[in-house]
Amino acid sequence: MINIISKSGTNQFHGSAFGYLRNRYIQATNPFSNTYQPAYTRAQYGLTVGGPIKNDRTYYFFAYEGTDRHESGFNDIGSDAQHAIGLD
């Protein structure tokens, strides 16, 4: 995506970064899951950078955001019981 905005900038460099991590080893187990510590990892991260190309004239701004998500261990409630009595 390219976004062009006509705004005045600043002659100083600025930036920021952020991160968010959710991992199965540092969170509570879902009480409805029949798998102990199901594989679930989510990481969101990003950064922004801005500054002058030519003082008082031309500026740049760059932003990046990423998300990594890995999950498994989701089960249907009652599927083992239904299979045992032949209802599937």
pLDDT in tens, 5-58: 766 667 899 999 999 988 878 877 777 777 777 777 889 999 999 999 888 888
Please return the burial class of 65, using the count of CB atoms within 10 Å of its CB with bins 0-12, 13-18 and 19+.
exposed
Model confidence pTM above 0.75: no
pLDDT at 88 over 60: no
Angle value at C-alpha 34, between 21 and 31, nearest 5 degrees: 60
